[in-house]
Amino acid sequence: MASEGRRPLVAGNWKMNGLRSSVPIVEAIRDGLSPALTDNIDVLICPPATLISSCVAAVYGSPVAIGGQNLHARPSGAFTGSISAEMFADLGATYVIVGHSERRAYHYETDDGVHAKALGARRAGLRGIICVGETMEERQQGRALDIVRAQLAIGLPKGATGEDTVIAYEPVWAIGSGRTPTATEIAEVHASLREMLDKLVGEEAHKIRILYGGSVKPANARELMAVENVDGALVGGASLVAEDFLGICRAYEG
Ligand SMILES: O=C[C@H](O)COP(=O)(O)O
């Protein structure tokens, strides 16, 4: 449940999915959102970099925002194959995901690297969505809170604000698995992250949105979004089906 004036954000992460033929999914999301809904929530789609331009064109003049999924920390240079925050901003993206667990697992991203990328996002005027989350092994060892707090403490740039930063709690074991933590477990982690934010940025902690991600579907969205300190969702698989993503957004209806 978003509170203290935080505006919920429902964000879709397409990961490495989607060709030009997928742009109509964004158009269907754009057309399926009622003004009553977008008056109250922010909606974001993060397609692969190859589709940013066409998705930005598709949502032009609508409340839907487009973001990147990863970035290089530097603005430009000899980094073959990389994309900088400035390049995403140049295309009309307004957000970028930083430190997703798939980047950490398959591309060996460290918390220090996440920090550098979050700074890069801010430099270019993009909002960084900093992802944190524990593995099942870490949870079973009772280390979930320590892990996510450390990831946040190192990853978060100094002076982060509610304007430039979003946090996403994504338990690694819940991603694409159909399993989710209980509402009590999510509430515990989000409260702990909020408290850590308070230590790191003081009052601004209450303006920074903390999303939940991991197997969010239309069927469980209402319950998950109602948890204290949950300010929206980071949605993977279900964001590739317009009706499913819209169903999750509608958790904020009435
Ligand atoms: O970034 C999104 C998350 O990894 C969640 O993915 P999922 O909704 O397919 O579990």
Distance 154 CA to ligand 1 centre (A): 23
The binding-site residues of ligand 1, defined as CB within 6 angstroms of any ligand atom, are 13, 100, 170, 175-176, 213-216, 234-238
Q: Is residue 155 predicted with pLDDT exceeding 90?
A: yes
Q: 186 vs 2, which has greater pLDDT?
A: 186
Res 2: pLDDT: 67
Are the C-beta atoms of residues 68 and 48 closer than 8 Å to each other?
no
Q: Could you give the number of structural domains in the chain?
A: 1
DSSP state of 72: B
Distance 214 CA to ligand 1 centre (A): 5
Distance 232 CA to ligand 1 centre (A): 13
Considering the domain boundaries, does residue 3 fall inside one? no
Tens digit of pLDDT for each residue in 40-89?
A: 999 999 999 999 999 999 999 999 999 999 999 999 999 999 999 999 99
Phi, then psi, of 65 in degrees rounded to 5: -100, 160
Considering the domain boundaries, does residue 2 fall inside one? no
Considering the domain boundaries, does residue 96 fall inside one? yes
Res 4: pLDDT: 78
Considering the domain boundaries, does residue 195 fall inside one? yes
- Does 236 appear as a known binding residue? yes
* The token pair that represents 238 in the structure block: 């279900």
Nearest to 166 by CA among 199, 120, 197, 202: 197
Q: Is residue 1 predicted with pLDDT exceeding 80?
A: no
d(CA 48, CA 68): 7
Considering the domain boundaries, does residue 1 fall inside one? no
- Residues 6-13 have a mean pLDDT of 98
- Residues 160-164 have a mean pLDDT of 98
* Whole-Å CA distances, 191 to 98, 145, 231: 21, 10, 12
Res 18: pLDDT: 98
d(CA 172, CA 80): 29
Q: Is residue 30 predicted with pLDDT exceeding 90?
A: yes
Considering the domain boundaries, does residue 201 fall inside one? yes
Res 69: pLDDT: 98
Q: How confident is the model at residue 25 (pLDDT cuts 50, 70, 90)?
A: very high
Our mutation pick for probing the ligand 1 site, out of 175, 212, 225, 241, counting the most ligand atoms within 8 A of Cβ, is 175
Find the CATH number of the domain harbouring 146: 3.20.20.70
> Angle, to 10 degrees, between the axis of helix 23-32 and the axis of helix 52-59?
30
Q: How confident is the model at residue 226 (pLDDT cuts 50, 70, 90)?
A: very high
- Residues 137-152 have a mean pLDDT of 98
Considering the domain boundaries, does residue 241 fall inside one? yes
- Does 15 appear as a known binding residue? yes
Domain that residue 54 falls in: 9-252
Q: 21 vs 5, which has greater pLDDT?
A: 21
Torsion of CA 217, 222, 228, 229, to 10 degrees: 50
* Whole-Å CA distances, 231 to 39, 80, 83, 86, 161: 15, 36, 28, 27, 15
Res 5: pLDDT: 87
Tens digit of pLDDT for each residue in 167-186?
A: 999 999 999 999 999 999 99
Considering the domain boundaries, does residue 56 fall inside one? yes
